């Protein structure tokens, strides 16, 4: 007669408990208390600890999602622009450096020759008197960025945003040479214009978007301290870039797309030079 403490029909951890379930990894007998469900059968506690120790470390969910977005079609450029713009706005409202930040990045046509980069940096600063200006532009960027960036790609989206901002500043120079502006409205309107053209080019119904753009453009004429010039320039620049993108789809036309996109930017530069010579030359 066999000893129950050494019999294979008893749990190796609890010899007084009879069992006929074997660990799928080591083959030892385990009672219900020592059984851990595995993909096939059950495993004993020691084998489970070894499996967990040898398993690859998992990253936090936030890190995993960010890396997944970077590898896939996530709107990383959109989120980056929003983050940078928000940080700059926080700097703007600080009592010591706020005015200096705003004055260093805002655009005034009279400064175009000496500091032309302001035509782009103006899209990164907003009114420090109210957060509404920032929130409206960033919310619109968030909406259209999530649509456009995964569709056209990060590089094209970044170029579109920059050229639209440049177009908005150029329009301010041509139509309001004595003014000064801050805000991403020109760039955001450029996203709207590009979305309209691309949507129409793909056969979609863009009537609602056309009405939205029209209402926002018209409202700029009646709301004080709103640069309708920047809105108009941004939407025209964005529409031109969107037209280039939709007409040069496909890998075989990539070179033409790059050259035509550069051509749109150069066209804005030429318009800027004309404005500078006409008003300040």
Instruction: Compute the average pLDDT of residues 40-56.
Output: 80
- pLDDT on residue 222: 81
Domain residue extents for the chain? 1-52, 75-280
Share of the chain above pLDDT 90, in %: 62
In this prediction, residue 3 has a pLDDT band, given cuts at 50, 70 and 90, of very low
Residues 110-130 have pLDDT tens digits of 999 999 999 999 999 999 888
SS3 at position 29: strand
Range of lowest pLDDT (34-43, 131-140, 272-281): 34-43
Range of lowest pLDDT (25-39, 133-147, 189-203, 248-262): 25-39
Instruction: Compute the average pLDDT of residues 80-92.
Output: 97
Instruction: Compute the average pLDDT of residues 160-187.
Output: 97
In this prediction, residue 4 has a pLDDT band, given cuts at 50, 70 and 90, of very low
User: What residues have CB less than 8 Å from 148, skipping those under 6 apart?
Assistant: 157, 160, 191, 194, 195, 198
Average pLDDT, the chain: 88
Residues 62-80 have pLDDT tens digits of 344 445 555 555 899 999 9
Alpha-carbon distance 165 to 143, whole Å?
A: 17
Q: Which residues are catalytic?
A: 185, 231
- pLDDT on residue 54: 76
- pLDDT on residue 260: 98
Phi, psi of 22 (to 5 degrees): -105, 145
Instruction: Compute the average pLDDT of residues 211-217.
Output: 90
Pairs from 213-221 (Cβ < 8 Å, separation ≥ 24) = 213/189, 216/189, 216/192, 217/189
Q: Which CATH number fits domain 75-280: 3.30.1490.20, 1.20.1540.10, 2.60.120.10, 3.10.105.10?
A: 1.20.1540.10
Instruction: Compute the average pLDDT of residues 205-214.
Output: 89
How many Cβ atoms are within 10 Å of 54's Cβ, its own excluded? 7
């Amino acid at each position: 007669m066999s000893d129950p403490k050494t019999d294979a029909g008893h749990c190796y951890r609890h010899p007084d408990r009879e069992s006929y379930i074997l660990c799928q990894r080591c083959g030892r007998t385990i009672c219900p208390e020592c059984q851990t469900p595995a993909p096939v059968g059950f495993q004993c506690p020691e084998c489970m600890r070894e499996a967990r120790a040898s398993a690859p470390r998992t990253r936090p969910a936030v890190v995993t999602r960010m890396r997944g977005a970077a590898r896939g079609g996530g709107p990383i450029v959109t989120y980056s622009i929003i983050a940078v713009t928000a940080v700059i706005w926080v700097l703007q409202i600080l009592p010591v450096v706020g005015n200096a930040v705003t004055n260093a990045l805002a655009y005034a046509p009279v400064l175009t020759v000496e500091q032309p980069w302001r035509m782009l940096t103006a899209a990164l600063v907003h009114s420090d008197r109210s957060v509404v200006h920032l929130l409206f532009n960033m919310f619109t960027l968030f909406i259209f960025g999530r649509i456009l960036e995964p569709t056209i790609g990060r590089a094209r989206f970044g170029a579109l945003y920059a050229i639209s901002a440049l177009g908005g500043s150029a329009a301010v120079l041509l139509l309001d040479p004595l003014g000064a502006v801050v805000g991403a409205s020109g760039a955001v309107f450029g996203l709207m214009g590009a979305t309209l053209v691309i949507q129409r080019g793909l056969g979609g119904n863009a009537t609602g978007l056309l009405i939205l753009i029209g209402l926002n453009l018209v409202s700029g004429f009646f709301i004080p301290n709103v640069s309708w010039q920047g809105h108009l320039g941004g939407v025209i620049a964005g529409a031109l870039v969107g037209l280039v993108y939709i007409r040069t789809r496909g890998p075989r036309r990539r070179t033409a797309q790059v050259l035509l996109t550069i051509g749109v930017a150069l066209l804005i530069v030429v318009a800027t030079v004309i404005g500078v010579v006409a008003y300040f030359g």
